[in-house]
Chain A
């Protein structure tokens, strides 16, 4: 059974959802039960760069002996105002691949126009779409262009605290992620639904 680690920031940790089970990683885990061993490693407040420097201890070493391993990464929310974060995404991907991982990225939901992180996230999303294959990532999940959950600005129905997705939004996140994971993995695991 292949391993899927969902890794990243507070979204991954389940902030905004009423429980981890109802967060988008929890829903992905439920949707893939029986076919994947899904682990969730999220930490509120983490930037992509902090994720990078934490992943040796939290991701790479603990699963060093696992053969079929995939990582779904979500960040950008906390580092959109830091111009180095696309470089970090690239290095994170390269290092994970070197350690035997298959990597899937996600574009980042956007905040309000006019603030620095908005433009940074736009640029970061553009780089993810353009460069993921060059980095060696298997694909990406398009969150930012989704008409319902793509932006948390002025979107209280799905982001009541103006940042984090609620239970309903998390279901939509999972609905976008699961088919992408299945499609990308089907190239490697014959018969995996």
Chain B
């Protein structure tokens, strides 16, 4: 059974929803794909892509013999909002995972509200431009354009808790827009 590994920061854990075991977007994706795919997820509170990069041995080495493996990376609260060099980190993360046999699906970083919005939005535009236009050169198979969804494209939207984390409605949106992209990659690989 092919593997889909949803990986990233605290959004993946379900920070922002009251019941992570039922409302987080990885759980919703898993429910939708149950029976056909082995869907795993792991997230780290406060970790950026630069930190996740060094986690290969901990989280991915066990899947080296898995033939068909897909990685869906959702991160944007740590590096992408903060570091001017997030593009380098995402580039190297994608290349490393691709070289290790993973099919990498990225996601754009979505706008936030409140005190984080001003410094982050400009950087989001830079990283999202790279995800949309350059990431295929890094080896990425596709990207989920969360930032372009009307539910996430405006400041102060109702789908985020504290202007940062997707709440239950936000997680449903992320799941709804992620699944078609994931399926399209699988279809291209003859796996759907």
Contact = CB atoms under 8 A, between A and B. Distances in A.
Interface stretch (A48-56, A97-105, A135-143): A48-56
Interface residues of A, number: 19
| Interface size bracket, B side | 20 to 34
A36 B127 CA distance: 37
A180 B46 CA distance: 34
19 contacts: A46-B83, A47-B48, A49-B89, A50-B48, A53-B50, A53-B79, A53-B83, A54-B85, A54-B88, A79-B51, A82-B44, A83-B58, A84-B51, A84-B53, A84-B55, A87-B54, A88-B50, A88-B51, A88-B54
Contacts of A47: 48, 50-51
B46 A82 contact: yes
Interface in B59-90: 79, 82-86, 88-89
A50 B50 contact: yes
Interface of B: 44, 46-48, 50-55, 57-58, 79, 82-86, 88-89, 92
Contacts, number: 57
A52 B50 CA distance: 8
Given A50-B79, A57-B88, 9 more contacts: A47-B48, A50-B48, A53-B53, A53-B88, A54-B88, A81-B46, A82-B44, A87-B54, A88-B51
Given A50-B82, A53-B83, A85 B51 contact: yes
A150 interface: no
Given A47-B48, A50-B83, A82-B46, A56 B88 contact: yes
A79 B53 CA distance: 14
A23 B79 CA distance: 26
Contacts of B47: 82
A89 to B, nearest CB: 10
The 6 closest A-B pairs by CB, nearest first: A84-B54, A49-B50, A54-B85, A53-B89, A53-B88, A87-B54
Interface string A66-105: 0000000000000101111101100100000000000000
B54 A49 contact: yes
Interface in A14-62: 45-47, 49-50, 52-54, 56-57
Contacts of B51: 47, 49, 79, 82, 84-85, 88
Nearest to A45: B82
A85 B55 CA distance: 9
Contacts of B53: 49, 53, 84
A83 B58 CA distance: 10
A49 B48 contact: yes
A47 B52 CA distance: 12
A58 B92 CA distance: 17
Nearest to A90: B54
Contacts of A46: 83
A91 B92 CA distance: 13
Contacts of B85: 50, 53-54, 57
Given A46-B83, A50-B82, A50-B83, A91 B88 contact: no
Contacts of A83: 55, 58
